Structure 1
């Protein structure tokens, strides 16, 4: 079985409302559907969500690098030759979500060829993950109402609160309102997207100490090296590296340098293969992990669940798997569903998903 074609199809689906956080704001999911075709007629799929304010990729840059560089390098390879595929793609620097989507599409092809779920091929630990929901910037009362609605409709009891506004007191107020409005049986943690200084982060954590927060993610910039180390040393809860730890080398740097004590794994930027490397590094170093979200659609969410459910360590915490709820539609024939606060691995071979051709025709942007 050989790779014959790699497609990169741009599509755009509006969000129900703009998503706001310290590093940017998005109004539509302007993503790229990646399809890897083989001479056996199998097609693997994955989703590449560009985040120009985080990784420098755009929808058009993903299309260009896949069509202009990666496809010629991959055609003729077997989908099993993943290390060769990675070596050829990594000769080009950057472009993490383009590379990740191709990697996950290759795993989807392999699963279909073997008639096995990707989760089973990766590790086979479980068949579901608990869900954490992201609460974005807004008026405190609206943030509480959103979280209460999500808990009532989907059974979700873990919430990631976006912080990082200036002044930081706005976020302290929001966190306090969420704890008061949701009660003590709900897990809360915070993500600053590098929006605060180290000093503001420390003051905010002190003021939030009685709320029982479980994690603090990227509160201040990683290149504030001394300030970040000082903050992590005094943090009473695990400090998660996300945007600062996008490769196995960066993970090593952040953990051994004292700039983080936990790592966010996002399959949208490291695929399945590099995510394995990151996970195993964290296991060896005793660092906690959480399955993060790149504001993925349902296809990207299915990928995150397939990976997260495959291992005990990634199954320990709720994964950030609900951002697709903010999209007005999606591309899958059978939608991802959150039931009792959990998402199940899709049944069937590979990723277990199919793309609805009518929806793709409606939302694609290259025709």
Structure 2
């Protein structure tokens, strides 16, 4: 961990309300580093919060940040960025890149989303509620509760039980919430090709908007074939983007939707660039978090706000933390999240102890 007048990091660890299931096991806290970097006369802040299975380890993240801040201590932000390979140390690069962008936007007097695109003013971004993975009745109860809280887009986890059981769960939710609520499914790569085909065929009449990662991340050919035969149910890719380039996804014609996690992609700037590239290819971008703390979560809100007519995004994740680093400048209400209008990300260094 480094600490000098112009560049520093501070470690943190925040408990979750309930354990988060990942491919590497359950996670019961989110640990990472806050990053401070002074640039253009402003203090920018960022967050590097690694997630097992998606990014580098906590130790590798810390070591990379120390190298980067040492290289950039004299104001040479390019030298700092060169120390941070976006594929090898994704979270570390996100932390430094966010701090740099925060300082740039502050220096220009713009909220971060308008630094990306100053043609519009956006006050709110639509978000989905994550209903999660539970048996049929608890799933229905959570779905109804989310709709009562104002959400009109729900994301359900599937793939942890039989295909038939998941089909019944989704049908029960549709019956309970009506036809005006969008339903998204996330299989986390759990299905085989045959299982995915059977599930999508059965759920198309239910009105499912898309299935996220129906096949394993590296099965691009299978995803392309599944997308070609799917009638009325879009295919979204998430885990694939941690392993394959966007160009490979385009070439395979494997996605209707791409789920972009700035922490996994190496920073808000990279996520925004990929979102606009996807739009150019006729693919819809959706911005989500990796259950981050308030700095990274708010930066992701700005990325979503900079995408014209963005679809509901997976940004309503602050409630998954039992504690946070600072008051939330982007609260969720009635199915949308507020976009801070202050310069930069919208959180001062003093609020997070930097």
Q: State how far apart, in whole Å, the 1-side matches of 2:57 and 2:102 are.
A: 24
**Residues 182, 347 of structure 1: alpha-carbon distance in 2 compared, 3 angstrom cutoff:** same
Q: State how far apart, in whole Å, the 1-side matches of 2:166 and 2:34 are.
A: 35
1:303 to 299, 302, 325: 299
Contact 2:40 2:107 in 1 (8 A): no
Q: Could you report, residue by residue, the CA deviation over 1:287-340 in whole angstroms, capped at 9, with x for unpaired residues?
A: 22111221223322211111111121xx33011111111211211135531122
Matches within 5 A, 1:112-261: 112-124=106-118, 125=120, 126-153=122-149, 155-236=150-231, 237-246=233-242, 250-261=245-256
1:7 shift after superposition: 3.1
Structure 1: which 5+ runs fail to align?
362-367
Q: Which deviates more from structure 2 when the two are superposed, residues 197-206 or residues 93-102?
A: 93-102
Contact 2:220 2:249 in 1 (8 A): no
The DSSP-based 3-state class of the residue aligned with 2:54 is coil
2:288 to 280, 292, 295: 292
Matches within 5 A, 1:317-356: 317-354=311-348
Q: How many pairs does the alignment contain?
A: 347
- Match of 1:281? 277
Structure 2: which 5+ runs fail to align?
none
The DSSP-based 3-state class of the residue aligned with 1:46 is strand
1:47 shift after superposition: 2.3
* Segments of 4+ moved more than 4 angstroms: 21-24
Contact 1:23 1:193 in 2 (8 A): no
Normalising to structure 1: TM-score of the pair?
Answer: 0.85
1:19 shift after superposition: 2.9
Q: State how far apart, in whole Å, the 1-side matches of 2:189 and 2:110 are.
A: 40
Q: State how far apart, in whole Å, the 2-side matches of 1:105 and 1:136 are.
A: 32
Normalising to structure 2: TM-score of the pair?
Answer: 0.88
Contact 1:292 1:320 in 2 (8 A): yes
Measured on the aligned residues, the alpha-carbon RMSD in Å equals 2.6
**Residues 53, 22 of structure 1: alpha-carbon distance in 2 compared, 3 angstrom cutoff:** closer
